[in-house]
Amino acid sequence: MTGTNKQAVRRKLARLDAGAHMKVVLNLRKAAVDDPATPAPRPEQFGSRVEYRKAAVAHQKAHSEAGIRNSLSRLQALGLETRPSPLSGTVVAEGTAEQLIRALDDDCVEAAAFDEEITLIRPVRSGSSRTPPED
């Protein structure tokens, strides 16, 4: 969500009926979570790169979830339905325009956006041309 502006989203929401039901994508501020009891896995602890990668992803997911847990609780306390994506630090928040405006006022929200077109980048396979296929 580069270049998103909470104030622009706020202005659009303010023009709606307070009870209008909307969805907004919010980028949450991640809290620092430092848990020495669960250090990040190290490659030498595993028999293969696959095992290490699985453990690293699981650790990162748990760490990221802990980093946004408080923010999610604050949004849910406003009555919003939330669908988080912990690794990216974003959440789809659904509720009334009034509830969403209050969420934008919370300092746990860094950025906000309405639905945006997402451009998918196809991976380049080794030995193939660098130009992705046209759809």
**6-113: CATH class:** alpha beta
Within 10 angstroms of residue 59's Cβ, the number of other Cβ atoms is 14
Q: Is the distance from CB of 91 to CB of 82 less than 8 angstroms? A: yes
**pLDDT reported for residue 109:** 92
Task: Please report, in angstroms and rounded to a whole number, the separation of the first and last CA atoms in the chain.
Answer: 25
Sign of CA dihedral 37, 43, 47, 48: positive
2 has pLDDT over 50 = no
Instruction: State the DSSP string of the chain.
Output: -TT--HHHHHHHHHTS-TT-EEEEEEEEPPPP---TTSPPP-GGGSSSHHHHHHHHHHHHHHHHHHHHHHHHHHHHHTT-EEEEETTTTEEEEEEEHHHHHHHHHSTTEEEEES-------PPPPTTS-SSPPP-
Residue-range domain boundaries for the chain: 6-113
Is pLDDT larger for residue 88 or for residue 30?
88
CA nearest to 30, candidates 61, 59, 71:
71
pTM: 0.65
The percentage of the chain sitting over the pLDDT mark of 90, rounded to a whole number, equals: 39
Kind of pairing between the strands at 90-96 and 21-28: antiparallel
**pLDDT reported for residue 3:** 43
Mean pLDDT (the chain) is 82
**pLDDT reported for residue 59:** 84
Is pLDDT larger for residue 115 or for residue 70?
70
Q: pLDDT tier at 85 (50, 70, 90 boundaries)?
A: confident
- Where is average pLDDT lowest: 56-65, 113-122, 123-132? 123-132
The percentage of the chain sitting over the pLDDT mark of 70, rounded to a whole number, equals: 80
112 has pLDDT over 70 = yes
Tell me the average pLDDT across 110-131. 70
